[in-house]
Chain A
């Protein structure tokens, strides 16, 4: 018995470290997952109005602007022309700009985009899943994501002016 004493002590203390370490470690993983500049942009895969699935990964390697919007939200509607203008201005420079609609039906989204003359890519969120992943509290919210998939800036609320969008896109491109 005596010669097992040391190993048993080590085993018990190791188990304590493992179980205790896991339990205490878990307590640091607070559910407060609010995204902030520097966070990794949460992955998504959504249906676009083009009928194709689009994943966040497929945009990697280029700076990306993601605008969450809905037809029910007046500031979202009002900043659409500014977003469209910026999309037109930067698309040649490799900057991507997409809108994610806030779980509305395809018909209303299509009709709204038609009437506002919007043609930047719009993806359809479903059952508010993506907006929850991004922890949206206010509409619109726009994420400026750098080429490596990290969030560089977040603009909460709107409508944004073209300058607001432009200055952030310039930062994404590494220009001041």
Chain B
């Protein structure tokens, strides 16, 4: 179907134009006769409306449709809602077998939910696909409408077609007293006092104010696009990280996937005293403060797991991490997440005690993690023969370690030195101060004695507490990087500016023409028609035309 798009005023309009770009005469014949004109985008054609669309045009037109945009938004809403039925997999730390976990915890529906991939809704291809499509739709819808609207508003004809005027929402047709030119000038002066910008063309007039509010929705859309791009940007690995590290006191641990290391210098937990608690909570442990005195180190050399060298660390930041007070360094944030009270030895400095002479030698350093193979205590040399971080016995009664954690460490030393057999003497040492451990230590050393491995003359003593370094608490830190956040805020701010522009200012236009003493006036606004009728009626009253604001309402007149 080929429309004749040439208006009677002689202007050639693009396909899809509703109101002539020049004089405003309605071009679409089948418009309802008795209703105000459709003024959206000033009746301009959307940019992509074409007679013979090719494939690209069809794709473009698909995204240009507001109807499609609404469907996309509804689908996204439904998808996002479905994603909240059960917790998402990403909210768990160390979820090894999600399928089993969902089945066990939430039953069959949970298993189905997980199997359908809904436990990973927000990372799924279809959800991200919908976001991408909404983003595309935002760009294309806006572009297709804002450019024609901008064009239409920046070259408006002052003299409009009579049909255009009489079919506005606010209309007045009446005789005016006196000279038409003078009246139009007076009326224009009145409108100027109301901050309208006024153009005249003979006895035709156009007055307009707050045109900028029409750009509000588009500015809002720009903000939303930035917001969406920022959200999609989080899928770039360097832009987003969210993980957990547990660090014992006095321990320095690498933050996985980075060249940063974090050390827990001291963890403090403070509980409320009973008198600070309400009656129903008395006697319960309520934490007042969790605090990790943390130090952040950056690796400067040998950072790539070089097996021959330890990484070289440089202290870059330290902070007392509390809830809502993370350690921040170059976009990396470490939040307090949890803690566990668990005593672990870090290092002891025992003395080698000679029971025969009563002399003690040392102290020597004994680190739990990676202990030195040779230590020196006075004239005696201690060669570390065996380490059992978590001492136990295997099925055959031989000593073994039950785990890799230093829960109950035991060290076997070969002691050599003056007055000792040249092959040395073998002693086991349990640094944990528990009676049970000391008992086992005694037993094993006695059995060594029976085997002739030692003479029983040596013992180990730590003595003062300052010779013991231990961790009482393990802190759990949440490590986050979210480089998209500033863009999210910028997007949100722009979006808000656009919304405020559109909400609190209204674009108002008044057209009129005087033909042989008869005034035809039409006015249009996108919101608050009461306001524009009152303004028009007030200006008319000052120029000798008394009219009730309500009488200007075209919709009322035609009903």
Residues of A participating in the B interface, judged by any CB pair closer than 8 Å:
1, 5, 9-10, 12-13, 16, 19-20, 22-24, 26-28, 30, 45-47, 53-54, 70-72, 74, 77, 102-108, 111, 126-127, 129, 137
29 A-B pairs in the complex with CB atoms less than 8 angstroms apart: A9-B56, A9-B57, A12-B139, A16-B135, A16-B136, A19-B132, A19-B135, A20-B133, A23-B128, A23-B235, A26-B128, A27-B124, A45-B307, A47-B308, A71-B401, A72-B400, A74-B394, A74-B395, A104-B389, A104-B404, A105-B371, A107-B384, A107-B385, A107-B387, A108-B389, A111-B385, A111-B387, A127-B253, A127-B254
Nearest B residue to A6 via CB reads B56
Known pairs A72-B402, A77-B400; A20 contacts B60 (CB<8 A): no
CA distance A77 to B385 in the complex (A): 19
Nearest B residue to A16 via CB reads B136
Summarize B's interface: helix, strand, loop or mixed. mixed
CA distance A24 to B332 in the complex (A): 26
Name the interface residues of B300-335: CB closer than 8 Å to any CB of A. 305-308
Nearest-neighbour CB distance to chain A for B115, whole angstroms, equals 13
Nearest-neighbour CB distance to chain A for B245, whole angstroms, equals 11
Which listed residue (B140, B307, B412) contacts A126, Cβ 8 A? B307
A23 contacts B394, C-beta separation under 8 Å: no
| B463 part of interface (Cβ distance < 8 Å) | no
Nearest-neighbour CB distance to chain B for A110, whole angstroms, equals 9
CA distance A102 to B405 in the complex (A): 12
CA distance A102 to B404 in the complex (A): 9
A28 contacts B125, C-beta separation under 8 Å: yes
CA distance A158 to B306 in the complex (A): 31
Residues in A neighbouring B129, C-beta threshold 8 A: 20, 24
CA distance A40 to B267 in the complex (A): 42
Nearest-neighbour CB distance to chain A for B453, whole angstroms, equals 15
CA distance A53 to B369 in the complex (A): 21
CA distance A74 to B394 in the complex (A): 8
Residues in A neighbouring B394, C-beta threshold 8 A: 74, 77
Residues in A neighbouring B389, C-beta threshold 8 A: 72, 104, 108
Nearest-neighbour CB distance to chain A for B373, whole angstroms, equals 6
Residues in A neighbouring B123, C-beta threshold 8 A: 27, 30
A105 contacts B387, C-beta separation under 8 Å: yes
CA distance A47 to B307 in the complex (A): 5
Residues in B neighbouring A23, C-beta threshold 8 A: 128, 131-132, 232, 235
Known pairs A72-B390, A77-B394, A108-B386; A27 contacts B139 (CB<8 A): no
Residues in B neighbouring A12, C-beta threshold 8 A: 139-140, 143
